[in-house]
Structures are given as structure tokens and as C-alpha cells.
Chains A and B, each alone.
Chain A
Amino acid sequence: MTFINYASREINCKIVYYGPGLGGKTTNLNYIYQKIHPANKGRMVSLATDTERTLFFDFLPLELGLINGFKIRFHLYTVPGQIFYDASRKLILKGVDGVVFVADSQAERFDANIESLSNLHEHLHEHGYDFATIPYVLQFNKRDLPNISPFEDLKKELWKKNEPIFEAIASRGVGVFDSLKDVTRQMLNGLRKR
């Protein structure tokens, strides 16, 4: 749900990073937080457990600049990836404008990716979204690890609607901004067409 304020000339969008537990959603946000100029970002809020697993969400507000005289503000959220936090995951998707699905490329997480993607479909549907039209990118993370599934195998199972795929190493920032930029482009263009 986008919020356009003509009084303060602002447009506010919500982007959610979704995916299986320990796949690198929070790492994506951490990298963005480190790289964005301090003037353009707010405080990053992490509601995490003692062992730094996301409990409810991570939240990063960004104020990027102007397009056509409107200030563009993004709220980036991650969901908790662990299976038993399903109710929290669903809450965070409410009002979403764009989704980045962060898949874990490691072979042993192959099924966890499929399960998480099906969970995303289910929750979007419950919130009344059509997966076919929502701004969406697919990120294959951890491409630097030795035990990863081949690109084509991941694509075969996870690529659903001709969405762009980005190979990423989120800990080093590879693919992080490419994913964010693409979902932003889809979101701002898509708003008009919806």
C-alpha cells in the first residue's frame, strides 16, 4: 500500500525481503545500511533473539532523493525466516509494495527455498495480492560458497513469472543494490499501471 502525500510531496513505499531462515535477508539490509549516506537513512531497527536470529522484523527507512519533485521514502523490512514464526511473517507482508525473495543457494537449503516461496504465495494471496502483478525480484544468495546448487536448478524451481534474477553475495554487497534498484523500478512504474 503506497502512501502519497501531496502536502509534503512524499511517496512512501514498503519493500519486504522474504526467504528461508539464515538465507541473508538481514545481511542485505545491513549492507544497504552501511553503504547509504547517513543523511539518507534512518536508524535500523532489529527485533532479534539473543542469537541474532530475526524474531519479528528488521526495519530500515531510506530517503533516497527526488523524482519529479517528490521525495521517495522506502521502508525496508525483513521477515523472520524460521518456520515457526509464520504468524509474524504474514503480518509484515501486509501493505507491501514490492518483494525481494532471498534464496539460499546452498544445496542443503534447496527444499527450504521452495517451501518459503510457497509460503510467500500463500500469504500474499491471503492479503489479497496477486503474485503475478506484484513488483518482485529473485535473488540467489551465497554464490561464493562451495556447496551451492547450480543456477539452472534453482531457476527451474524458483523462477515463476519471468522476474529478474540476481546472483548475490550479500555479505560482500554483490547483487544487493541491483536487487533493490530493480524492485524499485518495478514499483514506481507499476504504481501507475495497477
Chain B
Amino acid sequence: METGDLVIYPGEFAEIRVILAQLATEARAKLVFLVDRNGQPIASHGDNGSVDTTSLSSLAAGNVAATEGLAKLLGEREFSVLFHEGERDNIHFSIVAHRAILVVIFDHSTPVGLVRLRVRKASVQFEDVFQRIAARFQKELQPTGVISDYPFPEITDDDIDRLFSE
């Protein structure tokens, strides 16, 4: 596996969920979720019953990537915060720990200033978790660059056929 890959264990996942839950409460948000910068959803908290978080994650990553492209054209390193205001709901994106996107969906009863403030606090906590994930990942990498407990020791053609036949 590449060192850029992201591997999360249950303890780390639980920590991420606790931070998200705390943020949702403190920022009075309807839904908060964390997305990998490449669009893979990591975890969420809140009312996502009517929201397709998979599509939202992919579009959030596309949105952030496009904005990053704009920043580079203007000579900026990144625009770390994005905010879209709707008639009913607002959406706030921020980059955390350089590798994930924190998305907060909230309505007009919550001031954006409060969301910004709470997001800053959560970002510091996420930074800490992701630093530990990265450090642990580095330690687990064997000198050959292979992870020892990779869950798929050998994939056969039958495994692949089964995957697509279901």
C-alpha cells in the first residue's frame, strides 16, 4: 500500500465520531460529515435520512478541488474555507489536517460565526487524530513498503466474479 493510503482502526474511528457529534451539538448543525479529499466519505453525524452523503461527498471533494485550482491560479496555497448559502440550509466546507474535508450543514437559526468558531475547535482535534493515524501507519509499514495485516492476502478470479455476480 502507498503511504498516501488511509487506514483507520476502530479506536480512531470512534474518536472521529465523537468529535463530529460534539461539533454537531455545539454548532447546532443538522448534519456534519468528514470526507477524504478524494471524495470517500469517512464518517457522519446527524440527520442524513434525506441526504445522499455519498454523492455529497464526491461533489464536496470536487468543489474543494476546483476551488484549490482557482487558488493556485491566483497564487494562493489554498482557500481553506468554502461557504454556500441557501434559502433554507447553508453548507460550510473546511479542510482539516490537509487530508480531509469537514462539511457542516446548518439552517438559518445558526449564525455562520458560531459554525466557524466550532469548526476551528474541531479542526484542532481532527489534526491530532490524523497525525496519530499517519504516525501509526508509518510505523506499521514494513521496510518493503507492505502492510503486514492487509485484509486480502490473495484475490482469485472467482472472488472477482462473485463480487460482480451478486
Contacts and interface: CB of A to CB of B under 8 A. Distances in A.
Given A45-B55, A193-B146, A1 B163 contact: no
Nearest to A182: B160
Given A68-B151, A192-B152, A193-B146, A185 B160 contact: yes
A88 B67 CA distance: 11
A177 B157 CA distance: 14
Contact of A42 (B7, B54, B152, B163): B54
B87 interface: no
B55 A42 contact: yes
A5 B13 contact: yes
B76 interface: no
Nearest to B72: A87
Contacts of A56: 62, 66
A3 B2 CA distance: 11
B143 interface: no
Contact of B62 (A70, A91, A180): A91
B135 interface: no
B14 A45 contact: no
B163 A59 contact: no
Interface in A2-46: 2-8, 11-12, 14, 37, 40, 42-43, 45
Given A61-B54, A88-B66, A67 B13 contact: no
A12 B160 contact: no
Contacts of A7: 8-10, 12-14
A37 B153 CA distance: 28
Contact of B65 (A40, A69, A72, A91): A91
Chain B contact residues: over half helix, strand or loop, or mixed?
mixed
A14 B164 CA distance: 17
B81 to A, nearest CB: 19
Contacts of B153: 68, 192
B8 A75 contact: no
Interface string B104-137: 0000000000000000000000000000000000
B49 interface: no
B103 to A, nearest CB: 16
Q: Which of A47, A67, A70 has the most CB of B within 10 A?
A: A67
Interface string A43-58: 1010100000000110
Query: Which 8 residue pairs spanning A and B have beta carbons closest together?
Result: A95-B38, A7-B13, A7-B10, A91-B65, A12-B40, A65-B166, A3-B6, A188-B155
14 contacts: A1-B5, A7-B9, A11-B151, A14-B38, A45-B58, A61-B54, A91-B69, A94-B37, A95-B39, A177-B164, A192-B1, A192-B147, A192-B150, A193-B146
Interface of B: 1-2, 4-10, 12-14, 36-40, 42, 52, 54-55, 58-59, 62, 65-66, 68-69, 145-147, 150-155, 157, 159-164, 166
Interface of A: 1-8, 11-12, 14, 37, 40, 42-43, 45, 47, 56-57, 59, 61, 64-65, 67-70, 72, 75, 87-88, 91-92, 94-95, 177, 180-181, 184-185, 188-189, 191-194
